[in-house]
């Protein structure tokens, strides 16, 4: 061992010891912060499915590859990071002796070939990612960047470290070639040999290059260890755990949330009949009241901004960015952590839990952070501004796009729950809707005895549960379908088509009440459960004696479809729920409905968030429309899983949109740009929002917004289309 090798070995050992020590301390701090969260025992079930999902999503890059170029480049960089970590380990042997290498595998030809290929592809991948980051930098002219709000120096730092480690890996090999100490042939390692042919035969070059590679790698480890909130680096380790502990591991990647997470207290669903606000947690009022999985979510965020780029609120000038919300919660949690770890915190009555002695040595900045309200304006020092919280439409685009399975919507609704149930703080106009739900059983406040008025004028009898027992489907009409004029046309069209196809169905009529979706999404879990339990009892009675497979419900509203099918199971209601487009597609494919006159003028389809993204129903409405128009749909640029929200979800239907551009107008402009004369929808909320948008653009005479069922009815019964007739208006 020469003098160069001795010095290089000492330096490598010293910086490695410092880096490892700091990394251990950082990991311990991270674990301690995450453990501050509330219990979530359901995250430990079904370990086999969790392991499989984690491997598929990470190794297969199923989320990342939805953006093909970025996904492919990131996959090569990920593989390079994992595999070429072995070459960082090998550098320690090369520091000691220029001819050194990994024991056993270091001399295998396949190892040399594999690392050469991975090194080249990793180099290309990181260059592509660096170019994409530069092209989308927040300071570039025009448009909002998905990196707006991200800590850009951290991204640049990580990318340059990866690039330099790859470069010095090839330099080490080059110096080995130049000094005849390289064991792999030219055909297996052509790049290394080409570099070696251009380098001088400097014996110490291998050890010096290896030392620099180690210093770069350990500097990276030191920097991220001193910055535990550096998600752009830490996600390389945390993503595996975050994906493993995702809410529903059995669902395929990007399958949407569907059901909301129940309201939890101490790791168990809250029972309102026994709940006590002084003992039980009602939503989230402090960052430590999120579950430990929530705190892991915040720590894992990569700051990539995919969620931000897809968010309808962010894209229309609202203050909500799912990314920035998560980053704010992350930074707040870690800033507050010294206070919490010292035993500090408020109990459910607002009293301090720690003694003065416990808090005596806590940093003043942590104490100041602890005084910040979780929800509050800038003047109040709040972590999350109320306008941010109430801008969310719960469309799920953020969850759909997140490559590390962060559950933004659940966290937003948990914060809403506390604001609504304990603080009674929410947009004032939504109060009318909540009062109507409590007093009238529907958000419009319409009289319950008018729920069946939509049936007037039909040329057939609509059967009711209780009057007939022999029905295959219970037709869940929904509040919009019963009371809102535009939605009543859809209800009549569906009933007409079911009757035409000979499907035996029945309605609940006045026995039906609101599914509770708007109450739950706004955060009023109490009203949701009140309505849901009433409906579950009614439905169980209607299906008494039937097994689940024969407890069939067809719904025209995706919000009802989602609530009945995905959330009523939490309250003892197990049903087979289909959306009307799914049933209509089946009836057409089996020949029970036959379009006889294609609808012309061009048709584009708007995917409702709660039908498409949340429940993966993309094909059925397109099949129905394809049959009705006897041709291809004109798709909007943002469709299917990337469909743009209409703006009505998350109870936004009953809140004024006062900030930025109206979401429905943005969507309508995209629809009109296709040139289609008909915008087909599969949701009454979407119908209202897009119709208002079209009228607002002054295009009501040129563009029509109607439900998929109405389009099909025109093709099946063009001479009458009774479902299109206006039902008698109902007084609100």
HEC string of 612-656 equals CCCCCCCHHHHHHHHHHHCCCCCCCCCCHHHCCCCCCCCCHHHCC
Report the range of poorest mean pLDDT among 13-17, 135-139, 263-267, 336-340: 135-139
Residue (of 429, 430, 433, 428) closest to 445 by Cα position: 433
For residues 591 and 226, give the distance between their C-alpha atoms in angstroms, rounded to a whole number.
66
Give, as one character, the DSSP assignment of residue 7: H
pLDDT of residue 85: 87
For residues 313 and 320, give the distance between their C-alpha atoms in angstroms, rounded to a whole number.
6
pLDDT of residue 252: 60
Residue 312 has which token pair?
A: 């309808």
Report the range of poorest mean pLDDT among 246-260, 332-346, 418-432, 591-605: 246-260
Work out the end-to-end distance of the chain between its first and last CA atoms, rounded to an integer number of angstroms. Answer: 91
Percent of the chain clearing pLDDT 90 (strictly above): 82
Phi first, then psi, for residue 473 (nearest 5°) are -120, 135
Please tell me the pTM assigned to this model.
Answer: 0.93
Return the residue matching tokens 């007739």: 725
Q: How many CB atoms lie within 10 A of CB 119?
A: 24
For residues 166 and 80, give the distance between their C-alpha atoms in angstroms, rounded to a whole number.
9
Find out whether 707 and 721 touch, Cβ atoms under 8 Å.
no
For residues 308 and 679, give the distance between their C-alpha atoms in angstroms, rounded to a whole number.
26
Average of per-residue pLDDT across 158-187: 94
pLDDT-derived band at 253 (thresholds 50, 70, 90) equals low
User: Per residue in 370-410, pLDDT tens?
Assistant: 999 999 999 999 999 999 999 999 999 999 999 999 999 99
Strand partners, 474: 506, 553
pLDDT of residue 723: 46
pLDDT-derived band at 599 (thresholds 50, 70, 90) equals confident
The pLDDT of residue 307 is above 70: yes
Return the residue matching tokens 């030219």: 186
- DSSP string for residues in 651-694: TGGGS---SSS-HHHHHHHHHHHTT-SEEEES-HHHHHHHHHHH
Strand partners, 468: 465
Half-sphere exposure of 680 (CA within 13 A, CB side): 28
Sorted by sequence, the CB contacts under 8 Å of residue 366 that are 6+ apart come out as 335, 336, 337, 338, 339
Phi first, then psi, for residue 681 (nearest 5°) are -130, 170
For residues 391 and 317, give the distance between their C-alpha atoms in angstroms, rounded to a whole number.
10
3-state secondary structure of 58: helix
Q: Which residues of 356-375 are buried (b: 16+ CB within 10 A; e: fewer)?
A: eeebeebeeebeebbebebb
Report the range of poorest mean pLDDT among 11-25, 533-547, 652-666, 709-723: 709-723
Burial class (CB in 10 A: 0-12, 13-18, 19+), 721: middle
* Average pLDDT value for the chain: 92
Residue (of 399, 293, 381, 263) closest to 332 by Cα position: 381
Angle value at C-alpha 471, between 465 and 477, nearest 5 degrees? 55
pLDDT of residue 256: 60
For residues 192 and 196, give the distance between their C-alpha atoms in angstroms, rounded to a whole number.
6
pLDDT of residue 99: 84
Reported residue count of the chain is: 732
User: Per residue in 188-212, pLDDT tens?
Assistant: 999 999 999 999 989 899 999 999 9
Q: Which residue would you say has higher pLDDT here, 632 or 363?
A: 363
For residues 697 and 690, give the distance between their C-alpha atoms in angstroms, rounded to a whole number.
10
Cα distances (Å, whole numbers) of residue 417 to 285, 441, 461: 9, 20, 43
For residues 516 and 514, give the distance between their C-alpha atoms in angstroms, rounded to a whole number.
5
User: Per residue in 73-106, pLDDT tens?
Assistant: 999 999 998 888 888 999 999 999 888 888 888 8
pLDDT of residue 257: 75
């Amino acid at each position: 061992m020469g003098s160069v090798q001795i010095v290089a070995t000492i330096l490598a050992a010293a910086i490695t010891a410092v880096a490892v020590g700091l990394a251990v301390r950082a990991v311990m701090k991270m674990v301690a912060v995450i453990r501050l969260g509330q219990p979530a025992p359901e995250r430990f079930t079904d370990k086999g499915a969790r392991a499989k999902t984690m491997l598929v999503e990470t190794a297969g890059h199923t989320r990342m590859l939805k953006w093909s170029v970025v996904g492919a480049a990131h996959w090569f960089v990920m593989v390079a990071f994992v595999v070429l970590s072995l070459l960082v380990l090998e550098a320690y042997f090369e520091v000691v002796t220029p001819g050194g290498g990994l024991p056993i595998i270091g001399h295998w030809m396949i190892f040399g070939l594999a690392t050469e290929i991975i090194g080249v592809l990793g180099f290309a991948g990181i260059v592509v990612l660096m170019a994409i980051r530069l092209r989308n930098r927040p300071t570039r002219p025009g448009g909002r960047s998905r990196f707006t709000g991200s800590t850009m120096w951290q991204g640049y730092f990580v990318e340059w470290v990866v690039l330099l480690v790859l470069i010095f890996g090839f330099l080490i090999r080059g110096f080995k070639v130049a000094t005849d100490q390289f064991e792999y042939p030219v055909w297996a390692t052509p790049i290394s040999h080409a570099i070696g042919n251009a380098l001088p035969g400097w014996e110490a070059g291998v050890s010096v290059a290896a030392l620099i590679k180690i210093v770069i790698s350990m500097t990276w480890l030191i920097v991220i260890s001193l910055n535990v909130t550096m998600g752009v680096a830490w996600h390389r380790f945390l993503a595996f755990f975050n994906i493993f502990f995702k809410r529903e591991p059995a669902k395929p990647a990007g399958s949407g949330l569907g059901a909301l997470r129940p309201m939890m207290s101490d790791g168990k669903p809250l029972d309102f009949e026994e709940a006590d606000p002084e003992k039980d947690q009602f939503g989230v009022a402090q960052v430590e009241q999120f579950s430990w999985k929530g705190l892991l979510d915040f720590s894992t965020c990569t700051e990539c901004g995919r969620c931000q780029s897809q968010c309808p609120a962010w894209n229309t000038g609202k203050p909500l960015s799912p990314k920035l919300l998560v980053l704010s919660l992350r930074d707040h949690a870690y800033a507050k952590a010294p206070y919490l770890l010292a035993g500090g915190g408020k109990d459910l009555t607002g009293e301090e839990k720690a003694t003065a002695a416990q808090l005596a040595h806590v940093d003043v900045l942590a104490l100041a952070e602890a005084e910040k309200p979780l929800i509050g304006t800038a003047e109040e020092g709040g972590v999350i501004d109320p306008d941010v919280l109430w801008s969310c439409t719960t469309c799920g685009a953020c969850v759909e796009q997140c490559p590390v399975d962060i559950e933004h919507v659940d966290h937003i609704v948990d914060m809403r729950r506390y604001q609504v149930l304990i603080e009674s703080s929410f947009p004032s106009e939504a109060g009318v809707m909540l009062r109507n739900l409590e007093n009238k059983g529907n958000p419009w406040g319409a009289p319950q005895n008018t729920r069946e008025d939509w049936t007037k004028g039909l040329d057939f009898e609509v059967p009711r549960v209780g009057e007939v027992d022999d029905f295959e489907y219970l037709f869940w009409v929904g509040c919009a379908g019963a009371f809102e004029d535009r939605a009543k046309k859809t209800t009549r069209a569906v009933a007409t088509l079911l009757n035409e196809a000979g499907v035996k169905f029945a309605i609940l009529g006045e026995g039906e009440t609101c599914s509770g979706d708007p109450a739950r999404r706004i955060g009023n879990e109490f009203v949701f459960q009140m309505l849901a339990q009433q409906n579950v009892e009614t439905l169980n009675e209607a299906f008494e004696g039937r097994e689940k497979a024969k407890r069939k419900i067809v719904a025209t509203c995706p919000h009802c479809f989602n609530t009945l099918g995905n959330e009523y199971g939490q309250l003892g209601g197990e049903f087979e729920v289909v959306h009307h487009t799914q049933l209509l597609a089946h009836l057409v494919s089996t020949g029970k409905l036959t379009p006889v006159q294609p609808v012309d003028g061009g048709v584009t389809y708007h995917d409702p968030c709660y039908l498409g993204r949340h429940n993966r129903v993309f094909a059925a409405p397109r099949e129905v429309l394809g049959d009705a128009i006897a041709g291809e749909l004109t798709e909007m640029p943002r469709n299917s899983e990337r469909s743009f929200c209409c703006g009505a979800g998350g109870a936004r239907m009953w809140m004024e949109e006062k900030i930025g551009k109206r979401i429905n107008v943005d969507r309508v402009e995209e629809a009109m740009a296709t040139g289609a004369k008909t915008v087909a929808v599969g949701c009454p909320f979407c119908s209202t929002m897009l119709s208002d948008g079209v009228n607002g653009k002054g295009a009501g005479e040129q563009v029509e917004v109607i439900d998929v069922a109405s389009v099909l009815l025109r093709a099946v019964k063009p001479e009458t289309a009774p479902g299109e007739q206006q039902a008698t208006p109902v007084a609100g």
